[in-house]
Amino acid sequence: MAEGTRASLRGSWYLLGPAFVAAIAYVDPGNVAANVSAGSQYGYLLLWVIIVANVLAGLVQYLSAKLGLVTGRSLPAAIGTRMSRPMRLTFWAQAELVAIATDAAEVVGGAIALRILFGLPLLVGGLVTGLVSLLLLGIQDRRGQILFERIITGLLLVIAIGFAASFFVKTPPPGEVLSGLVPRFRGSESVLLAAAILGATVMPHAVYLHSGLVLDRHGHPEEGHRRSLLLRVTRLDVVLAMAVAGTVNAAMLLVAAINLQHQGVNASIDGAYAAIHDTLGATIAVLFAIGLLASGLASSSVGAYAGAMIMQGLLHRSIPMLVRRVVTLVPAMVILATGFDPTRTLVLSQVVLSFGIPFAVLPLVRLTSNRALMGGYTNHPVTTVAGWTVAIMISLLNVVLIWLTVTG
């Protein structure tokens, strides 16, 4: 890298941020449920899946951000311009379903954390989570993108501390951690959990969102030095954000592997909290619950933000955020009111999200490979091949997830 380029990047740290907002989707309560289940049942076996999933997600997130910076359109808007109205409505319907499923998972996760920490009924906890996420969205609307990014990044730090705090008390055996980096499975259930981890990692709404986040933050730069600089900064932003998200996800699995494996503990978030409380003490258990709460609050607000962007891009309409928050909160409240197992709800929500992944990733790779649209910023042939490989592989793995869930 040339000295001038290094100097430009060193002086552009303040441009970082959009990727950290998108990264919240990669450490949401659905990830907690999948990683805790994997660690409690198989120990360190599936650690390699988390590493692979984050590398794949990083490529997809960068392509989304590049599309936004180069074309001046969010991914939903770019997709919508190439569709007839009936097709746009159909595409919006599936994307909206994904956004609602995402929101339900985030609210349920926040409700579980509030029950653990304060003994609140799940229904009340879900309502509190929804209201706090609305407050965060109000900050973004009234105080601007940068403050919202700083708050979400701060919550990401809280999540990281909450899930990694136990390592200061009990660390995993290095040899077993290294063995978890060797790709392998142990029966069909481990394949199901691997697919669940992938499904919980590459989130459709985060793919849609990142293209709009960079536009909200940087605008549509003219071709030239500033656009090239922003693309370099974006690559760094994605690498750093995904490194944090990957570390947090690995910490979730390792915490479960250390404290739940061979303990005969229920492989649920409540079970994880109880086991950590019994083995590591109340302080570490509370930090775990605080990390889960921060995950629910931050990811719920980011999910609602993505839903609004999807509607604006595909329907060319916007509704007040309060109305949208209420509409997307209703399904989560119904789930909590029925008494359905909350951890199971989180896992099933990942299955719903699986349906939406091909609709987000496949058009993204096609659009960023289109020279007429991207000009000199068209994907390198190697990037295009990697993008198609990732898109097809993720889609096939999520078909496996759906099939194993239905038949299991």
Residue 268 φ/ψ, nearest 5 degrees: -135, 170
pLDDT at 77: 93
Looking at residue 40, its pLDDT comes to 86
> Cβ–Cβ contacts within 10 Å for residue 185, how many?
15
Q: Does any domain span residue 2?
A: no
Structure pTM?
Answer: 0.87
Residue at 37 is within a domain? yes
- Residue 3: inside a domain: no
What CATH number is associated with residue 104?
Answer: 1.20.1740.10
Q: Over the chain, what is the mean pLDDT?
A: 84
pLDDT of residue 45 exceeding 90: yes
Taking the alpha carbons of 54, 57, 59, 61 in that order, is the dihedral positive or negative? negative
The single-letter code of the amino acid at 99 is A
289: in domain: yes
What is the average per-residue pLDDT within 233-249? 92
Residue span of the structural domain in which 387 resides: 13-407
- The residue-averaged pLDDT of 96-125 equals 88
CA distance 233 to 145: 17
For residues 105 and 117, the model is more confident at 117
- Using only C-alpha atoms, the chain has a radius of gyration, in whole angstroms, of 20
33 vs 284: CA distance, rounded Å: 18
- Tokens of residue 221, six digits: 């730069």
pLDDT(12) > 70: no
Per-residue pLDDT tens digits for 283-294 = 988 998 999 899
Tens of pLDDT, residues 178-223: 999 999 988 777 887 887 787 677 788 889 999 999 998 888 888 8
In a domain, 4, yes or no: no
Q: Is residue 7 part of a domain?
A: no
Between residues 13 and 299, the one the model is more confident about: 299
Rounded to 10°, the helix 188-201/47-71 angle is 30
pLDDT at 228 over 60: yes
Q: Which candidate, 185, 134, 157, 190, places its Cα nearest to that of 295?
A: 157
Q: How many domains does the structure of the chain reveal?
A: 1
Residue 377 domain-assigned (yes or no)? yes
| CA 213/CA 22 separation, integer angstroms | 8
Identify which has the larger pLDDT, 12 or 241.
241
Given CA atoms 391, 308, 50, 243 in this order, what sign does their dihedral have? positive
